[in-house]
Structure formats: structure tokens, C-alpha cells
Amino acid sequence: MREILLLDNGSRRPQSTLALRALAQRLAEHLGQAVSPVSLAHSDQVPSDRLDGRPAAILEPWLRARLADGGRDFLLLPLFFGLSAALTEAVPALAAQLRAECGPFSLTMAPPLCPLPQGEPRLTTILLDRLTSAVRATGQPPRRVVMVDHGSPSAQVNATRRWLAADLKDRLAGDSHLEEAAMERRPGAQYDFNGELLIEVLRRLAREDDLSPLFVLPVFLFAGRHAGPGGDLAEISATVQGEFPTLAIHLTGLVGDHPGLIHILAARYREASQRESL
């Protein structure tokens, strides 16, 4: 029987693993099949007493254990917006290593959340809904919006943010202006495709106008080091607000707990059913 695993990159913050488990449970209910929440790395550093007594599952030992128990058919649903090196290099390399050690098995990987070139308009709908909720809560118009992602050394991954930004621009009201930013980027001109860092964008926009509010729209799934309470997004926003006391900066909600994400994952599951094993 084919086993389904929902894979994220992993985090040292317990709330990320707990959110992954909750999403896997909702997806299992939607599909009518069990879904195992698994992380690529990092999450095993969280003490189990902060994870309801259950340690996080990490991909390599999880697969080894299932192979030892006779599992031979796996479908991997990646919780990644684009085709990062984790999906194009790390997972295929691990599959090859385990086949050499444990014998043949099938590992089919679904497309990422926003496969290119076609993109994923439903993901834009989620981002737009998060922005609309923040606007409704604050009562302020979204004339200036900053979409921010993690940043990547891969232009292919950055192209996912570019696609989302272009689609969102087409769907925003005419008086809204959208900027893009990254949380991290490597030094060097070869990584200029990431654009400006978030703190640079916020400071530039604040110097231009410190009275009109800014809405920060994170392209992040779960709360972790960058997103969520106490994360870098909140700290950077607080820093800029401290420098410009008349400026209001509003952070919108995340993607991972939006109900629309289940339908995207279900579609990726159906697509993967037609794919060949890695």
C-alpha cells in the first residue's frame, strides 16, 4: 500500500512541527488516507516534551524505519513553494543511497506548491485573502504591500516569488503598490535576483512616506525563525517602526494554516499519482 508523507524543510521551533502535524491531519481527513508529517532536517533538535511527547520525524530515519518494516511504495508531497535544492538534489540523492543499502522501492515526488511555468493561482488567492483579512482588521487601505520570502541561492526558486508577485499585482486594486523582498540573500552580484532585503525595502518606503501604512505579506508556511511571534519578520518590523514612529507596519497571516492549502495539496497528490518514481 502506498504511504503518503507530507514533507517540509523543518525548523528548530516547536510550533512549526506542531503546525505540520495539524496540516497532515487535515489533509488525511480530506484524502481519506493516512498522511505522515515528516521534515527534511532540523526538527529533531526540538525536545519531544515540547512536541506533545512525540519527537519530530526526519526523512532519512523515517524512510529507513519504514523500509525495515517492509514499506516499498511512498508518495512525497513537498511543502515547498518552488523546486529548491532539497527537492532536486537532497531527496533524489537520499533515495539513491537507500536503494543501494536497502533494495528497490518506489518514491514518487509530487510537484511543489507553485510549479512553474504554469504557477498556482490558488496560492495567490491565499495570499490575497491573508492581505484582505489584515486590511479588514486594521481598517487601513493596502496602498503599499511588501511580499517577502526566505530568499534563495537558486534563481529557479526565486522565480516562484516573481510569479506570485506578478499574479498578485494583476489582482490587487489599482491604487495598491506591491514590492518584493527577501529575508536572506548571499553576497555577490550573482544573487541579485533576490532583490532587496526586507529591512532595506521597509526603510526605503518609510523614508518616502512614514504616514501611509505598510502591509508585509510573508510567503511562509509556518511560524519559525523568520515568521510568527518573536520571529525575524516581527523583529525587523519593530526595528523600522522604532526608527519611524509614525509608520504603521502590519504583518499578514501565513499560508500554512489557510484552508485553501488543502485543496492545492490534494491537487498535487492527484498529479503525483501519474508520475514515475524518482
Residue range 208-218, pLDDT digits in tens: 999 999 999 99
pLDDT of res. 276? 77
The phi and psi torsions of 74 (rounded to 5 degrees) equal: -130, 140
How far is it, in rounded angstroms, from Cα 106 to Cα 49?
A: 34
Count of beta carbons in the 10 Å neighbourhood of residue 118? 9
Which CATH code is given to the segment(s) 3-115+259-272? 3.40.50.1400
Distance CA 238, CA 259 (A): 29
Intervals of CATH 3.40.50.1400 along the chain: 3-115+259-272, 121-251
What SS3 class is residue 230? coil
In terms of DSSP bridges, do strands 177-182 and 106-109 run parallel, antiparallel, or are they unpaired?
unpaired
**Per-residue confidence at 262, pLDDT binned at 50, 70, 90?**
very high
> Considering the domain 121-251 in this protein, what is its CATH number?
3.40.50.1400
In the predicted structure, residue 278 carries a pLDDT above the cut 80 = no
Give the predicted TM-score (pTM) of the model. 0.94
Q: How confident is the model at residue 254 (pLDDT cuts 50, 70, 90)?
A: very high
pLDDT at 225: 82
Other Cβ atoms closer than 10 A to 36: 16
92 pLDDT more than 90: yes
Helices (H), strands (E): how many in the chain? 9, 8
**Contact yes or no for 84/154 (Cβ under 8 A):** yes
| Neighbour tally for 90: CB within 10 Å | 16
- In the chain, at which residue ranges do the beta strands (DSSP E only) sit? 3-8, 35-39, 73-78, 106-109, 144-149, 177-182, 214-218, 249-251
The pLDDT assigned to 174 comes to 85
The pairing of strands 35-39 and 106-109 is unpaired
**146-201: pLDDT as tens digits:** 999 999 999 999 999 999 999 999 999 888 999 999 999 999 999 999 999 999 99
DSSP letter at 192 equals G
Which residue stretches of 32-120 are H helix? 59-68, 85, 91-102
